[in-house]
Amino acid sequence: MKFNSFNIYTKEYEDWFKENEIVFQSELLALKQLIPAEKKGVEIGIGSGIFAEKLGIKYGIDPSENMLDFARKRNLIVEKGYAENLPYPNSSFDFAVFITSICFIENPGKSLKEAFRVIKDKGELIVAIIDRDSTLGKSLETIKEDSKFYKYARFYSVPEMISIIEFNNFEIAEIVQTLINMNPHIPENPLKGYGKGGFVVIKAIKK
């Protein structure tokens, strides 16, 4: 990452989820549909651990030490590191997760090769993105230059992300989407597929 705003605006990051609780709950519902329960997983770009804690993911890496301080307070097992060079042995995990973090990674292809390495055979990869082609994605593109967090982000369309995942020897298994209606009062139940929701979760299997 060219500039790690997450290391500077850590508290603002945490506060965003409190202020946007319904969005957060909608995203969690989508993720819970595809993340395997009772298995050993790692979140790549775990940040403060706010998602991992709710999803039962115990392990993670992130380049931001200030974010990792929050994650440690959540009793998560975290290390400082980068997605392109994971500090784990081969076949360490049943699954690996990127939750919007891939849009901040300089070399997503290399990070997926590393994810492939640390996942067991037939293990699962879960990648959550803000769909660039969605209403939400288009609106974030227009404000990203003035955003503390999104200024250096690269948003992907779902077909583009699928292509990168498949190129790195994963087979797409399932896709769900949410943040379709953006109801400020009620969390959304996720729908299968993509093309309507701003937040899309892709599950793939290691070949």
CATH number of the domain bearing residue 140? 3.40.50.150
Question: How would residue 144 be classed by pLDDT, with cut points 50, 70 and 90?
Answer: confident
Tell me the average pLDDT across 86-94: 97
Give the range of the structural domain holding residue 190, as residue numbers without chain letter: 5-206
Share of the chain above pLDDT 90, in %: 78
Question: How would residue 7 be classed by pLDDT, with cut points 50, 70 and 90?
Answer: low
Share of the chain above pLDDT 70, in %: 94
CB atoms within 10 A of CB 80: 12
- Number of C-alpha atoms within 13 angstroms, CB side, residue 168? 20
- Number of C-alpha atoms within 13 angstroms, CB side, residue 62? 32
Contact at 8 Å (CB) between 178 and 199?
A: yes
The rounded distance, in Å, linking the Cα atoms of 154 and 113 is 19
Stated pTM of the model: 0.92
The per-residue pLDDT for range 99-125, each reduced to its tens digit, is: 999 999 999 999 999 999 999 999 999
Res. 10: pLDDT tops 80: no
What's the whole-number average pLDDT of the chain? 92
- Number of C-alpha atoms within 13 angstroms, CB side, residue 24? 15
Strands 41-44 and 93-99: parallel
Domain count within the chain? 1
Predicted local confidence at residue 4, as pLDDT: 57
